[in-house]
Amino acid sequence: MESRSVGKVTDDEVLRLARELADRLAESVGDAAAKADLADGAPGIALALRYAAEVFDDDRYFKEGRILLRRTAEASAAAPLLAPGLYLGTAGVVWAVTEYARLEPRYLPTLATMTDRLARQTLAITLHTAAGSVASHDYDVMGGAAGWLATLLKAADVLGGRATDATREAADRLADYLVELAQDDGGRLRWFCAPSHFPSIPGPDGQPTPLPGYVTRFPDGVYNLGFAHGPPGILAALSHPDTGHATGTGGGDARPHRIRQGIRALSGTLGALRIDGLDYPAWPNFLLPHPDSGRPDTDSPQVPARSAWCYGAPGVAASLLSASAACEDPEPADLAIATLLGVERTPAEYQRINSPTLCHGLAGLLTIYGRAAAQTGVPDLWRMHDDFLSRMCSHAHPDHPYLFPDYDPWGGQEHRPGLLTGAAGVLLALLGTVSDAAAEWDELLFLTPRPPRGDEPARTEPGGTEAAPRVDRGVGEP
């Protein structure tokens, strides 16, 4: 469902919506409170309330978030998190606890224990790098190595000397693994997913069986191009400023050099895989392997993916911006800016922006354009950011349980409190527009921290005039 056209939304209006949304999440989180995953369970809601507490200077939200973390511990004790994934496993809980430990040192011992557990989980996993032996969930942001690595780096930064040897060893191993996947040997790319490694569901006999839709559409395997499940997530994780040198377990100057090489190689690969013949940069959801070479078949018919964080041009652009900063190379940033500006020229039937939520909707776009505009200072990116904010806010209605609904592909409303497709993600996006400190939550989406305050280019308005700096403020201030 497309939002109606509205005028520019003021900071006061954003704060009002954010306050009401935070109140509703604090008062009633429904079934999500019993879930231990970051995607739509208690940890994601706790994360949103932690930033609401900071913006509104209201300890009530922080206390409610702590209750949710306790419920997460209870849920994971009843059903242990056996997978290390960022959005569906141990790493997601570690991420949320890390955010609380930044403000409340009493969480540091728990964080140290959980981070070591995550590191040992990842060290126990066999990591394959040969083309055809790799599944997307081995390396991706949602459940794979890109998310594990970003989480370990974030936690290690907060823990400092409390970080264990296992944590440092795991981070180095994951960085080396992702660099290996970025290599191009001239044949099938290493992140190619063969049918034997498709996502699976329990079959009639209880054993895993590939999703029927994948088997039907991709009988010879597939290349996934989304940020959530494809190489943009690898690129983002490798572009983290601590990936090459912060873990301190050896490698000298060789590891940072290899990582920069991997970033450049993967940036070039992504640029070469965009759809030809359009007047705006775009990527499909998937590419088939060429029947002869096995490489991505860019000559086959392609349709642009939706304009979103999870899949499509905006998510790819976000990873290219991170790569540009990591390598101090303007070329990926140039493509990223052209890509983000090109969304306006993308036909609506390809944009498919039909929800206010984070994963595939306006909250994700708002966050992408906010970071990109702050990083580049491009006026049109600020203008598009403000437009996405207005469109997102237009979906709010007091009759919705969490103010903002999510919409399924057929326009049906779904009401969720969680992070990726629910109200917690919208709350974080709102808070990030009025507070530079709250905007730092977006590291969760892009796997790289924001540049330190003061290092970002000044925001300029159309016509070249510099805008007034944004100042963090609580709702009680004028």
Q: Which residues are annotated as a binding site?
A: 310, 359-360
Asked if residue 417 lies in contact with residue 32, where contact means CB atoms within 8 angstroms, the answer is yes
Q: And the tokens for 52? A: 């609401």
CA distance 242 to 264: 17
CA proximity to 337, closest of 359, 314, 308 = 314
Please state the residue numbers annotated as binding site for Zn(2+): 310, 359-360
Q: How far is CA 109 from CA 4, 92, 228, 355, in A?
A: 48, 17, 31, 39
For residue 193, the cross-strand partners are 222
CA distance 314 to 51: 24
For residue 413, the cross-strand partners are 407
